[in-house]
Amino acid sequence: MFRIRDMMRRRTVKKGAGSISMIGGADGPTSVFVAGKVKSKKNADKKSQEQERRIQEIIGTIVPGKRSMEEVCEYLISDLGAEESEIDRGRRECMKFNILCRYFPEILPSMPEIKGRHTQARADKWAEECRIRHEEIQNYPEESLDLDMHLFELPLVVKGERIGCFYVELERNTGYLSCSWNYDIGDRKMDQRDIKEAGDRLMAGIMRFRGLAQEDIDNRTQEFWCYISMEQYLSGRFAQEEI
């Protein structure tokens, strides 16, 4: 799921700490939900056509070419100055969970569904089945998978000041890639929009360096939707700038 969310309010604060996580498509392609009523199928078709038009515009800017995870690691270290860090148990379990959901859906229990009318009892039963499924995925033995997981850390710098850490999770064999960052601005007068932009720039640079294969574009893989979501999210802010 490169599920991209704007998790921070646009406001200026004097004190504060926080974190933001950009999952690189770890749990499926990003979906965009638009609130409101659709008056007719014609209106829905227009929205779908407009969305496809925007996607085609982004595709037109892509030069196919996907770098290996080894090249991504080298880029992180040599170009961005990242250092490899130890992966704690909690993060490792989270990475395993996301990798399983994305790359090994065939070995996971099927997603529960509510059959028939959506009564409270059926909804409660569905929620319990979802909880059990989640636990089964969490408890899946990592030893059964051929995973080579790594964590890289680099400074999150805003206007010349280091205010936090930027993290890159990756798994060499599947191509899993996820970015997140946290920060603590303390008593500094700092606009959180600047913090978010710093993280967004790093994330976009890494994803664009990784790139997309023609196969990703033709088959619209989860990597493709992750990339498209990023470009749509950044468009109008700094997507056209050189990163």
Structural contact between residues 181 and 196, judged by C-beta atoms closer than 8 angstroms? no
Whether 137 has a pLDDT exceeding 80, the answer reads yes
pLDDT tens for 178-224 read 999 999 988 888 888 899 889 998 999 999 999 999 999 999 988 89
Whether 12 has a pLDDT exceeding 50, the answer reads no
pLDDT tens for 141-186 read 999 999 999 999 999 999 899 999 999 999 999 999 999 999 998 8
The whole-number pLDDT of residue 74 equals 97
pLDDT > 90: what percent of the chain? 56
Average pLDDT, the chain: 82
The whole-number pLDDT of residue 187 equals 83
184: alpha, beta or left? (left if phi > 0; alpha if psi -120 to 50): beta
Rounded Cα distance between 23 and 191, Å, is 24
Whether 24 has a pLDDT exceeding 60, the answer reads no
Mean pLDDT, rounded, for 18-43? 50
Mean pLDDT, rounded, for 57-83? 94
What's the maximum distance between 2 C-alpha atoms anywhere in the chain?
58
What is the token pair recorded at 225?
A: 């939707």
Q: Which residue has the higher pLDDT, 129 or 22?
A: 129
Q: Which residue has the higher pLDDT, 135 or 12?
A: 135
Whether 134 has a pLDDT exceeding 90, the answer reads yes
What is the token pair recorded at 107?
A: 């070995």
How close are the terminal C-alpha atoms of the chain, in Å?
23
Q: Is the torsion defined by CA of 222, 226, 227, 228 positive or negative?
A: positive
CA distances from 35 to 5, 9, 32, 79 (A): 16, 19, 10, 41
Q: How many residues does the chain have?
A: 243
User: Helix (H, G, I), strand (E, B), or coil: what is residue 68?
Assistant: coil
Structural contact between residues 243 and 208, judged by C-beta atoms closer than 8 angstroms? yes
Domain assignments of the chain as residue spans, ordered by start? 1-29+62-85+150-243
Rounded Cα distance between 57 and 51, Å, is 10
The whole-number pLDDT of residue 19 equals 55
Q: pLDDT band at 232, cuts 50/70/90?
A: confident
pLDDT tens for 105-123 read 999 999 999 888 889 999 9
Q: pLDDT band at 242, cuts 50/70/90?
A: very low
Whether 16 has a pLDDT exceeding 70, the answer reads no
73 Cβ contact list (under 8 Å, min separation 6): 150, 152, 170, 172
The distance from CA 127 to its chain's CA centroid, rounded to whole angstroms, is: 25
Q: pLDDT band at 233, cuts 50/70/90?
A: confident
